[in-house]
Chains A and B, each alone.
Chain A
Amino acid sequence: MDTMRDGVCRYLQFPADQTVLILHAKVAQKSYGNEKRFFCPPPCIYLSGSGWKLKQEQFQAGGMEDLGYKVCGYMGLDGMGTSHTETQKLSFEEQADCKKFSCAKALYISDADKRKHFQLILKLYFSNGQEIGTFYSKMIKVISKPSQKKQSLKNADLCISSGSKVSLFNRLRSQTVSTRYLSVEGGAFVASARQWASFMLYLVDEGGSSGDFPRREGYIRYGSVVQLVCTVTGMALPPMVIRKVNKQFALLEVDEPVSQLHKCAFQLQGSPRMYLCLSNEKVIQFQASPCPKDANRELLNDGSCWTIIGTESAEYTFNDSLAKSRDPVTPVPLITSLELNGGGDVAMLEVHGECFSPCLKVWFGDVEAETMYRNPSSMVCVVPDVSAFGSEWRWLRYPVTVPLSLIRTDGLVYATSFSFTYTPEQTCLSSQHLPSSLSQDSDSLLDSIHHEFTRTNFHLFMQN
Chain B
Amino acid sequence: MDAVLEHFPGLDAFPSPYFDEEDFFTDQSSRDHLDADEFLDGRVDFLAGQMHEYYKEGRAAEGGEDCNFSFSSSSSSSSAGFLYECGDAACTLSRGCGAPRRRRWRALRRRRRARSEAELQQLRQAANVRERRRMQSINDAFEGLRAHIPTLPYEKRLSKVDTLRLAIGYINFLSELVQSDLPLRSPGSDGHSQPKKVIICHRGTRPPSPSDPDYGLPPLAGHSLSWTDEKQLKEQNIIRTAKVWTPEDPRKLNKSSLNNIENEPPFDFVS
Contact = CB atoms under 8 A, between A and B. Distances in A.
B198 A454 contact: no
Contact of B247 (A189, A345, A424): A189
Question: Most chain-B Cβ atoms within 10 A of its Cβ — which of A188, A393, A442?
Answer: A393
Interface stretch (B13-21, B45-53, B97-105, B169-177): B169-177
Interface in B124-171: 150-152, 155, 159, 162, 165-166, 169-170
Interface of A: 187-189, 200, 202, 210-213, 215, 227, 229, 231, 234-238, 268, 274, 276-277, 279, 282-287, 338, 340-347, 349, 383, 385-387, 391, 393, 396-397, 400, 404, 417-431, 434, 442-443, 446, 449-451, 453-454, 456-461, 463-464
A188 B225 contact: no
A457 B228 contact: no
20 contacts: A229-B242, A235-B245, A284-B247, A342-B198, A343-B198, A344-B199, A347-B200, A347-B225, A385-B202, A396-B223, A417-B230, A417-B232, A418-B229, A421-B228, A423-B223, A429-B183, A431-B183, A449-B174, A453-B169, A459-B219
B118 interface: no
A27 to B, nearest CB: 22
A431 B185 CA distance: 9
Interface stretch (B22-30, B31-39, B209-217): B209-217
Contacts of B266: 210, 238
Interface centre among A235, A420, A449, A461 (most CB of B within 10 A): A461
B194 A424 contact: no
Interface in B198-249: 198-208, 212-214, 216-232, 235, 238-249
Contacts, number: 220
A414 to B, nearest CB: 14
Nearest to B180: A429
B224 A200 contact: no
Interface of B: 3-4, 6-7, 150-152, 155, 159, 162, 165-166, 169-170, 173-174, 177, 183-187, 194, 198-208, 212-214, 216-232, 235, 238-251, 266, 268-269
Contacts of B224: 422-423, 425
A80 to B, nearest CB: 34
B76 to A, nearest CB: 22
B227 A419 contact: yes
A463 B239 CA distance: 54
Nearest to A464: B162
Contact of B223 (A417, A422, A464): A422
Nearest to B233: A417
Q: Which has the most chain B C-beta neighbours within 10 Å: A344, A429, A457? A: A457
Nearest to A339: B194
A237 B247 contact: yes
Contact of B249 (A284, A421, A446): A284
Nearest to A387: B205
Contacts of A189: 245, 247
A460 B243 contact: no
A213 B239 contact: yes
A430 B245 contact: no
